[in-house]
Amino acid sequence: MTTSVTHDGRPASGLVTKDITPRIATEIRADKQTLLSGAHAGRIRELLEQRGVLVFPQIGFTDDEQVAFTQTLGTIAREVSGEEVYNVTLDPKVSQTADYLKGSLYWHIDGTMSEVPILASLLSSKVAPEAGGDTEFCNTYAAYENLPDREKREIESLRVMHSAWNTLFYYDPEPRIEMLRRMMAIGDQELPLVWTHRSGRKSLILGATARHIIDMDFKKSAELLVQLRDWATQPQFVYRHKWTVGDLVIWDNTGTMHRATPYDAKSGRLLHRTKLQGEEPFA
Ligand code: OGA
Ligand code: MN
């Protein structure tokens, strides 16, 4: 473990960081007050961008503390329904919008239907399931950076149609027409395959909403999208979080994909989510 150092070289007291894997995820140990003070917000934001996922083991935030911590890092994004804290569960008895989370079992980026996707999400575990229900993340910056140069050149100017309804077929292969139309009404958006961020760094934009590559033969398009997902989700780019109650995990939604591993909707698994407003459009 190393104590991190601030820009002017002073040790950032109370923030102890440890990389979990070489290419993704860092564990941060600090007490609640240190985190809530906002004193290390800049460092945490920097680490988030560099490492994709930050894990605060058993920090045990209440909802109010989670909201306050979220606000130290940027502008909190409310759910469409207005709430700041959202119940992540597959149990329709607990959340009316549980069905929309069925797609969360497949690799995705949140907000591909928006021009400016959310910057990050924070999940904290309230009830852990007995089996399954881990969350996996992959680093889409690292996945891009490690592509062979020839492949980088081949994909650099490709554009991809992202469609909310594409995710429906992952979990409901024979939907009723009403259901398909409801998902279609959510929208579509054409996005670059390679996101050139303001920082100059590049990441891949993939996931379950990726429908097809514009102006490409149907089979070739499907093949390339699957090949790139396979590439991006190789073990060296992936961190898998097994939840203990009280854990808080933040992911940089602009440089990672994520998915839940299968779990029983009735297992009681419950995570509380807050989100940070996006600061940069897809480009
Ligand atoms: C989400 C999500 C994954 C999980 O909240 O956006 O995809 O493990 N959650 O529940
Ligand atoms: Mn998600």
> What DSSP character marks residue 253?
T
Could you tell me the pTM of the whole model? 0.94
Q: What amino acid occupies position 118?
A: I
Residue 253 Cα to ligand 2 midpoint, Å, equals: 9
CA distance 5 to 248: 23
Task: Give ion ligand 2 contacts, CB < 5 A.
Answer: 104, 110
| Residue 236 in tokens | 């060296």
Find how far residue 228's CA is from the centre of its chain: 17
Atom of ligand 1 nearest to the CA of 133: 8
What's the confidence (pLDDT) of residue 8?
46
CB distance 104 to ligand 1 below 6 Å = yes
Q: Bridge-partner residues for 210, per DSSP?
A: 162
- Shortest-distance Cα residue to atom 4 of ligand 1: 260
Closest CA to 145 of 253, 23, 259: 23
CB distance 126 to ligand 1 below 6 Å = no
Q: Bridge-partner residues for 120, per DSSP?
A: 252, 276
- Shortest-distance Cα residue to atom 5 of ligand 1: 88
Write phi, then psi, for 257 (nearest 5 degrees): -115, 160
Residue found under tokens 């909201």: 67
Residue 7 Cα to ligand 2 midpoint, Å, equals: 33
CB distance 260 to ligand 1 below 6 Å = yes
Residue 85 Cα to ligand 1 midpoint, Å, equals: 13
Instruction: List, in order of start, the domains of the chain with CATH numbers.
Output: 17-276 (3.60.130.10)
Averaged in consecutive runs of 10 residues, what is the pLDDT profile of the chain (283 residues)? 48 82 98 96 98 98 98 96 95 90 96 97 97 98 98 98 97 97 97 98 98 98 98 99 98 98 96 98 98
Strands of the sheet containing 210-213, edge to edge, are: 188-192, 159-163, 210-213
Kind of pairing between the strands at 86-88 and 256-260: unpaired
Closest CA to 139 of 49, 74, 33: 49
Instruction: Note whether 237 and 228 are within 8 A (CB).
Output: no
